Structure 1
Amino acid sequence: MNVQWIVVTAVGLVVVAVLGFRVRPPRARRVPAGPPRGTVEVTRDLPEPVVRYHRALGFDGWHVPAVDTFVLWGRAWMRPARMLRLPVRFWSAHRVGWNARQRLAVTWYGLPVLRAVDDYVDGHGRTRIGRRTVTGPEIDQGENLFLWAELLLVPAVLAVRPGVRWQSVDADSALLRVPFGGGTDRLMVRFDPDTGLITECRALRYRTPGGPKVGWYVWFERWTHGPGGWCPARISVRWADQPRPWFVLDVDGMATNVRVDSDLEGVRQWLPSTSTTSLKETRT
């Protein structure tokens, strides 16, 4: 009887533990947008799909709202391994075009049990998971692409950051060239031919330090209109050699021109004094 009781108890504890990772975290408190800051004029030589996108968002094709800061938040499912799916709370803050911080927290019954931070500032990226920190050129490139994939939602970045430019591809696609290191990187962006809104972007991105670049796909799904304007209801991220997305974010909100000092506090403290040429890993 004692053995049976121990087995039943052990099985019950395992079930309780597993079920905790099936509970989504609560929604974060909505952040109201800051006061309008007028409009800015972007370059007039935009590809036609980009002009349609700006108009679909409710803007003049070349005059868009001025945006200094931007936040986006939501709840996600993350697959770090094929048979493992974890609930995640997600928060992203930008000083538009220059630096950003993404905060992620894996939750159990809605409570955070593992925290991660992705930073990008002055051309350098950093990933911190728990006490493990990773930097290096592959991280720099990956974090830069992540930053610009989110900034597709902020057309004003064209007027804020020098070196950003669109190139024509076809009637429903355009290439976005973004600053990186001493040169540029690029994202291919596709637009819905009916709505004009973005449907996906793709790029070649490092997945692992020391490995080759891999196709990286980001889908902007089910756009909705809320207090802050048009926003994708879901953003999915997949590697080209994997059958399904490894990160699926249900967006709860986005806001512009808000205070991000507390979010970005300390981002520059870890900035390398010299550029890195190989992976660096530290534990604290």
Structure 2
Amino acid sequence: MNKNILVTILVLVVIIVFFIGYGIKHTPQPFRAFPANPSEPETFQLPGDLPQPVDRFYGEVYGEEIHLIRSFILDGRGQVRFMGVTMPARMRFIHDAGKGYRHYIETTFWGLPVMKVNEHYLDGRSRLALPFGVIENEPQVDEAANLGMWSETMMFPGVFLSTEGVQWEAIDDNTATLFVPFGDTEDAFMVYFDPGTGLIEKMETMRWKNAGDQEKTRWQAQVIEWGTIKGWKMPVKFAAQWMNEDSPWLMADIEDVVWNVDVSDYIRQEGLQLIP
């Protein structure tokens, strides 16, 4: 082969590798902030009968007065692994606290959206809209979505205390079981607390990974870092991992949050824009 042609090919390969490699590492711009002016939430008294690690946890996050949260919206950026490929992503999670949610996620290349995901969990039913199809009317996916909703509720854990059907049960000084409602039944998380800080380290459960699976897979919602956003002590970096995989499929840095805003219409829409 002609030497000049070989050099040209090698240069092109290097350029392509550089273009792809840096393109999938380029952090996208954050979403424009949700327009909201949340008011100071009401409070209620910390129950006196909580298991020791749970009582300590709420004392660290709230003190004796627990904030009553009816809705919240989380904005963040991070990485999502889809079909074996890890891509940068930006995300907005909209919650009707303890009742349902919508996830809007954009994976990006060189900061530009390449795949948009709209996932709803409303009225006990999940609907996952992907560029190549829609997954809905799958009871196993509904149950998995319910667990996902409750894991994200650790951002505002007062919701665990204000929602009917949620219960804490003691295990030991650093572990407790969290029972959450699912229709007429319930599911459970094993919740691990950091012995030093008293804060949640991870929530673990058995969860359906795919519709049609014969067995559930161990799954964790992991807190990588606690911090403060707009005065709220909360997980600011978290991950989600199927424990039959070597690493998390989702890594997210939470950068903005609003609470107690009307999400009744927005949670049922698609995309980023709030449609009046």
2:53 aligned with 1:52, yes or no?
no
Query: C-alpha distance in 1, partners of 2:142/2:115?
Result: 23
Equivalent residue in structure 2 for 1:203, among 202, 205, 210: 205
Does the CA-based 8 Å contact 2:153-2:160 persist in structure 1?
no
Does the CA-based 8 Å contact 1:127-1:139 persist in structure 2?
no
Question: Partner letter of residue 49 of structure 1?
Answer: P
For residues 23-38 of structure 1, the aligned pairs below 5 Å read 23-30=26-33, 34-38=38-42
SS of residue in 2 equivalent to 1:222:
strand
Equivalent residue in structure 1 for 2:15, among 12, 27, 30: 12
Question: Partner letter of residue 250 of structure 2?
Answer: F
Q: 2:43 matched to which residue of 1?
A: 39
Distance 1:214 1:11, change over 3 A: same
Does the CA-based 8 Å contact 1:33-1:257 persist in structure 2?
no
Q: 2:234 matched to which residue of 1?
A: 231
For residues 252-271 of structure 1, the aligned pairs below 5 Å read 252-261=255-264, 263-266=266-269
Question: Partner letter of residue 230 of structure 1?
Answer: K
Q: Percent identity?
A: 29
Distance 1:100 1:80, change over 3 A: same
1:18, distance to aligned residue in structure 2 (A): 3.9
1:108, distance to aligned residue in structure 2 (A): 1.0
TM-score w.r.t. the length of structure 2 is 0.86
Q: 1:178 matched to which residue of 2?
A: 180
Query: C-alpha distance in 2, partners of 1:9/1:262?
Result: 49
For residues 142-153 of structure 1, the aligned pairs below 5 Å read 142-153=144-155
In structure 2, the gaps of 5 or more residues are 271-276
For residues 106-145 of structure 1, the aligned pairs below 5 Å read 106-135=107-136, 136-145=138-147
Question: Partner letter of residue 52 of structure 1?
Answer: R
Query: C-alpha distance in 2, partners of 1:55/1:103?
Result: 32
Query: C-alpha distance in 2, partners of 1:104/1:209?
Result: 21
1:159, distance to aligned residue in structure 2 (A): 4.9
TM-score w.r.t. the length of structure 1 is 0.84
Question: Partner letter of residue 59 of structure 1?
Answer: G
CA RMSD of aligned residues (A): 2.3
Query: C-alpha distance in 2, partners of 1:103/1:19?
Result: 24
Query: C-alpha distance in 1, partners of 2:248/2:90?
Result: 17
1:183, distance to aligned residue in structure 2 (A): 0.5
Does the CA-based 8 Å contact 2:229-2:255 persist in structure 1?
no
Q: Which moved more, 1:46-55 or 1:183-192?
A: 46-55
- The size of the alignment, in residue pairs, is 264
- Residue deviations 1:77-134 (CA, integer Å, cap 9, x gap): 122355x321111110111111111111111111111011221112111211114111
2:84 aligned with 1:78, yes or no?
no
- Residue deviations 1:114-170 (CA, integer Å, cap 9, x gap): 011221112111211114111201110111011000112223324543211111111
Query: C-alpha distance in 2, partners of 1:239/1:163?
Result: 26
In structure 1, the gaps of 5 or more residues are 268-284
Q: 2:273 matched to which residue of 1?
A: none
Query: C-alpha distance in 1, partners of 2:120/2:46?
Result: 27
Does the CA-based 8 Å contact 1:40-1:156 persist in structure 2?
no
